[in-house]
Structure 1
């Protein structure tokens, strides 16, 4: 009996910094999770100025919808996995700072 090879799916992995972005096209085996696709994309090498944990621990989404468990979500053909950066400033704190500045 010959073992069949898994079907391959075309997906993308996207990550952006304020000054540049990368969208990496990959062919991954059927059953690949969102987290596994990020590891396969090699983003740590593309963004050496960031710690590798940035990509291992980041929140992930598919087409703008955050994934609750990226280690369990299996990808479908055409999915774009997005790697989200942590917030630099809490949105509530930013609004408060703007409001305080506008009162001056």
Structure 2
């Protein structure tokens, strides 16, 4: 069976592998047979967060034909904190829903 394996080592970089696996293969077996650990050896020492088609899964999940197996990397910054910092840099008048106003119009209209 054919399974696609995706990993993004950095923003805007995506690596993709097409794996030809025996039927009934688990996620752990697929990772062991893939070249991902050869290219990114630091992944072996980490606890991996995995998903199939965007839904988190464990290493014992049995893969099916044409599944998309994804390895997720951790967030470096909490999205809420990043949004708060970006808003404080831009200011209330230039950010968000009320940034575009008509001449002579009220904010948000």
Scaled by the length of structure 2, the TM-score of the pair is 0.70
Superposed, which structure 2 residues align to 1:25-104 within 5 Å? 25-48=18-41, 50-54=42-46, 57-67=47-57, 70-103=58-91
Moved over 2 A (4+): 17-21, 50-54
Counterpart for residue 6 of structure 2: 14
Residue segments in structure 1 that go unaligned for 5+ positions in a row: 1-8
Q: SS where residue 65 of structure 2 aligns?
A: coil
**Aligned-pair Cα RMSD in Å:** 2.0
Q: In the aligned structure 1, how far is the partner of 2:83 from the partner of 2:29?
A: 36
Q: Say if 1:58 and 1:84, in contact at 8 Å, map to a contact too.
A: yes
Question: For residues 58 and 82 of structure 1, what CA distance do their matches in structure 2 show?
Answer: 10
- Contact kept in structure 2, 1:38 and 1:81, CA below 8 Å: no
Gaps of 5+ in 2: 93-109
CA distance in 2, matches of 1:78, 1:90: 33
Question: For the structure 1 residues 19 and 52, does the alpha-carbon distance in structure 2 shift closer, same or farther, using more than 3 Å as the test?
Answer: farther
Q: Which has the larger radius of gyration?
A: 2
Mapped partners of 2:40, 2:63: distance in 1? 24
Aligned length: 91
